A and B are shown apart, each in its own frame.
Chain A
Amino acid sequence: SQQGEEDPQALSIQEGENATMNCSYKTSINNLQWYRQNSGRGLVHLILIRSNEREKHSGRLRVTLDTSKKSSSLLITASRAADTASYFCAPYSGGYQKVTFGTGTKLQVIP
């Protein structure tokens, strides 16, 4: 199975600032996804980046992938209070491999 580990575990920033969180994984991947989870709510898919991609943008989100370092980062620019949530990465190795989640990064954006 493949497990993602997010870092830092918690992050507190002021509204308008940028937030960066990182994900590390152990074995080679087919793709990696980032999800957001608001407290007590379900997972919301944010972005998928494939192993042959290095960077991907979606609105205020920028995801990078460094397969040589087995790491990915999620950057949220101009953060808003509504971005307060936990963020999880899901690295996927392909071939029906199981995905094991880390504890996520808990982001708090202070208005």
Chain B
Amino acid sequence: GAVVSQHPSWVICKSGTSVKIECRSLDFQATTMFWYRQFPKQSLMLMATSNEGSKATYEQGVEKDKFLINHASLTLSTLTVTSAHPEDSSFYICSAQNPTTDTQYFGPGTRLTVL
């Protein structure tokens, strides 16, 4: 069964609002989680690495003030898209690192549509 969950699975919001997406590791404690974004007909692009108890590391070109990441516990990382705009409409996917098995598991994704 799934070991990483995301909530919500889809969300529609108005331009200018903020949206929070949760990523949970269900079977293990994950000190490290990763956030990806996928635009239509494109591959998944890594946005940032989320580390429990410390600041996230963002990939080049990803605005850290726009995409706020909070990894407050060993089983939960959140991605908040602030002041969302239509161009932020995308598929957001997280992965969680199981340190015991040294394996990454991917969540099912969250589809964000900004009107």
Q: Name the residue of chain B whose CB is nearest to the CB of A43.
A: B106
* Chain B interface residue count, Cβ-Cβ cutoff 8 angstroms: 25
CB–CB A42/B107 < 8 A: yes
- A-B pair count, CB < 8 Å, reads 55
The A-contacting residues of B in range 1-32, CB under 8 angstroms, are: 2, 6, 9, 32
Residues of A within 8 A of B108 (CB): 42-44
For window 66-115 of chain B, which residues contact chain A by CB distance below 8 Å? 91, 93, 95, 97, 102-109, 111
Contacts of B44 in A (CB 8 A): 88, 101
B46 at the interface (CB under 8 A from A): yes
Given contact pairs A96-B32, A101-B43, A45 touches B106 in the complex (Cβ within 8 A): yes
Tell me if A23 is interfacial: C-beta within 8 Å of chain B: no
Chain B minimum-CB-distance residue to A97: B104
What are 8 of the A-B contact pairs (CB < 8 Å)? A30-B102, A31-B103, A35-B106, A44-B108, A98-B34, A98-B46, A98-B49, A99-B46
